[in-house]
């Protein structure tokens, strides 16, 4: 293990040159008695959620997204686990629109929040720098 050098690490972080991304945190909500049962002919909520995510992935807006499976199953809460997504969009407004329109949020099953995030350190920085196309703000 090498010695920690604050000045070197600070310079590396400042030189990372990874564009600002957005983290979407998806938290299950307590179920209310107003939850509407789905029809057998309708696509399942999971199918609707996957279709929404697929479209965003195809547009390049979603870098990573997925459930926190070991955190699921709280009695009295929506039947979906919490989740985290990394969004590559041009503005907080666009990230918040994605969060607002996420199907489990629309159904009242999740509360979605968004935070701006600028990655600076870690084993994926070089990959992000090479593969991300900066989104014009």
Please report whether residue 1 resides in a domain: no
Please report whether residue 7 resides in a domain: no
For residue 93, what pLDDT is reported? Answer: 97
Q: Number of folded domains in the chain?
A: 1
C-alpha neighbours within 13 Å on the C-beta side of residue 93? 1
Residue that the structure tokens 């666009």 belong to = 94
Please report whether residue 87 resides in a domain: yes
Please report whether residue 104 resides in a domain: yes
Please report whether residue 12 resides in a domain: no
To the nearest 10°, report the CA torsion of 109, 64, 115, 128: 180
Please report whether residue 52 resides in a domain: yes
pLDDT by 10s per residue, the chain, length 137: 568 888 988 888 888 888 889 999 999 999 875 555 556 678 999 999 999 999 999 999 999 999 998 876 788 888 899 999 999 999 999 999 999 999 999 999 999 999 999 998 888 888 888 877 665 44
For residue 134, what pLDDT is reported? Answer: 60
For residue 38, what pLDDT is reported? Answer: 59
Residue-range definition of the domain harbouring residue 38: 18-131
Task: Give, as one character, the DSSP assignment of residue 77.
Answer: B
Please report whether residue 41 resides in a domain: yes
What tokens appear for 110 in the block? Answer: 């999740």
CATH of the domain at 76: 3.30.70.1060
Residue that the structure tokens 């590559």 belong to = 88
Please report whether residue 2 resides in a domain: no
């Amino acid at each position: 293990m090498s010695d920690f050098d604050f000045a070197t690490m600070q310079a590396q972080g400042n030189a990372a040159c990874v564009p600002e991304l957005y983290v979407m945190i998806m938290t299950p909500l307590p179920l209310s008695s107003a939850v509407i049962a789905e029809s057998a002919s309708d696509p399942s909520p999971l199918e609707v959620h996957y279709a929404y995510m697929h479209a965003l992935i195809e547009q390049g807006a979603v870098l990573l997204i997925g459930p926190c499976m070991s955190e699921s199953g709280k009695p009295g809460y929506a039947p979906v686990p919490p989740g985290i997504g990394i969004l590559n969009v041009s503005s907080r407004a666009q990230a918040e629109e994605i969060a607002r329109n996420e199907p489990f949020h629309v159904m009242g099953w999740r509360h979605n929040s968004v935070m701006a995030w600028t990655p600076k350190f870690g084993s994926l920085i070089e990959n992000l720098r090479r593969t991300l196309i900066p989104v014009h703000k």
